[in-house]
Structure 1
Amino acid sequence: MTDRMLLYSAKGSGGVAVEAALTLIGAPHEVTDSYTFNPATPESGDKVLVANPMRQVPALALPSGEVLTESAAILIWLAEAHPEANLAPRPGDPTRGQFLRWMSFVSSAIYSLYWVKDDPSRLVPDPAGHAALVERTLERIAWCWGVMDAQVSPGQYILGDQLTVLDLYVNVVSRFRPRRMRFYKEAPKMAEAVKRVDADPRLAPLWAERMA
C-alpha cells in the first residue's frame, strides 16, 4: 500500500482545481492524465474507469483504497482532511453555510452544464439543434455566475480574506466557456478574487502548465 494519493485529472479540466488544492496542502500525490473529452484520443479516458465508471475526472484514489469522485466533494474532503492548510471554514464558522452553499452551486448549477455543452448529442440527437443548445447553455452559465456574484460579499477572496477551495474551484471553472471576459462582466465582485488566485506565486506555475 502506498501513502500517496492518485488523482485522475486532465489538463484544462475541473481536476486542476483539485491539483491546486493538493499543491497548497503539500500532500504526497501523483497525477494520471485521463483525457475524457478529446475525440482524437478517446482511449485516454479509459484510464479513469478503474476509479470512476462515469468515465469522468477528477477522481481521487486514497491510500486506503477508497475512491472519491465529484470535484466539489473532493475539494471539501481535502480541506477537512487537512485543516492545517486553512482551505475551508470549519464547522461553527459564520461563513461555513455559504461555503457549502456556493461549492454546491458551482457544481450543480454551472459545472454540470458542461456535460451538455461539450457534447450536445447527449441530449439532442439532431445536429441541427446543437448550436442553439450550446448557445443557450453558455448563456445559462453566464447568468448563474451573475446570480452568485450578486449574493456574495468578497474581501480578498470570495468568502472574505481567507483563501478557500471555493476560490480554486471558481478560478478553474470560470476559465471554461464563455471564458473569463464574460465571467468578469457577469461577476465583477468575484473577478478581483479570481485574479488574485491567478497571481498566487504558489499556484502560478500550475496554472501556466495545466490551464494554458
Structure 2
Amino acid sequence: MHTLYWKPMSGSLAPMALLEETGLPFDLQKVDAAAGEDKSEAYMRDVHPLGLVPALRIPDGRVMIESAAMTIYLADLAPAAGLAPAATDADRALYLQWMVYGAATLYPTYIRIYHPDYHRVREGDDEAVKALAVKALDVAWAPIESALADGRSFLLGDRCTAADIYIAMMALWHPGRGAFGKACPNVNRLREAVWARPACAKALGMHAP
C-alpha cells in the first residue's frame, strides 16, 4: 500500500493522478497546511524533513519526497498502464527530458510566483519577484509549445505518459489562465487531453476548489 500525503492544488496532483491511472492500492492522507500540520514536529520528523507537500510513503515504510520522482517511480512500477516508455524504448530519452524540465524549469518558476517571500531580499520585493517570474514562464513554456506544434495531443505523439500528466499539472497553475490558453494553445490542448482522462479527472476533482 502506498500512502500519499497531499493538499489541494499542489504538486501532489500528479502523483495522485498516477495512483489513479495505475490502479495501485493507495491511501490518501490530507495535510492541513492552513493549520500548520505540514510544519509540525511530527510531520517534519516522520514524513517530510522540510515540511512540504507532497510525500509518498512506499510499501516498505520509507518516504519519498519530490513530486517528479514519485511520478516517475509510480509510472515505472506499473508498466501495464503504459505511462512510461521502457528503458530500451527510444522515447525514453525525451520522456525523461520533459519530466526533468518540468521539475527543474517550470516548477521553480511557479514557486517564485506563489511564494515570492522565499526569494525576498528586501521588504516590498514580492511584486517584482512575481513579475519577473511571470516573464520567465513565457520563456519556459515556449519549448513545450513548440514541441506540440505539429498538432499532437501529447509530448511523445498519441501516447499519454506521466510526463504529460506532470506538465499538465503545472499548466493549471498559471496566474492568468485565460491569457495562457491563448498564448499557448498547444499546451492548452495537452492540458485538456490529460484532464479528460477518467482517472486523471478523478484526481483533479479531489483538488479542484
Aligned in 2, Cα 1:42/1:114: closer, same or farther, shift over 3 Å? Answer: farther
For residues 45-87 of structure 1, the C-alpha deviation after alignment (integer angstroms, 9 at most, x for no partner) is 4364222112112211111022211111111111111111111
Residue aligned with 1:127, SS: coil
The structure 1 residue matched to 2:98, chosen from 84, 95, 102, is 102
Residue aligned with 2:3, SS: strand
Tell me by how many angstroms 1:35 deviates.
Answer: 4.5
1:32 equivalent in alignment to 2:26: no
Correspondence for 1:116: 112
The structure 1 residue matched to 2:186, chosen from 189, 193, 205, is 189
The answer to whether the 8 Å contact 1:48/1:57 transfers is no
The answer to whether the 8 Å contact 1:146/1:186 transfers is no
1:139 equivalent in alignment to 2:135: yes
For residues 17-58 of structure 1, the C-alpha deviation after alignment (integer angstroms, 9 at most, x for no partner) is 11000001111111111254x4xx223543642221121122
Give the alignment of 1:1-212 within 5 angstroms: 4-36=1-33, 38=34, 41-46=35-40, 48-49=43-44, 50-152=46-148, 155-212=152-209
Root mean square deviation, CA, Å? 2.0
Q: TM-score, normalised by structure 2?
A: 0.88
The answer to whether the 8 Å contact 2:147/2:155 transfers is no
Please list every run of 5 or more consecutive structure 1 residues that lacks an aligned counterpart in the other structure.
none
For residues 147-195 of structure 1, the C-alpha deviation after alignment (integer angstroms, 9 at most, x for no partner) is 2222355623221111111121122111113343343234322321221
The answer to whether the 8 Å contact 1:167/1:193 transfers is yes
Distance (whole Å) between structure 1 residues aligned to residue 18 and residue 151 of structure 2:
20
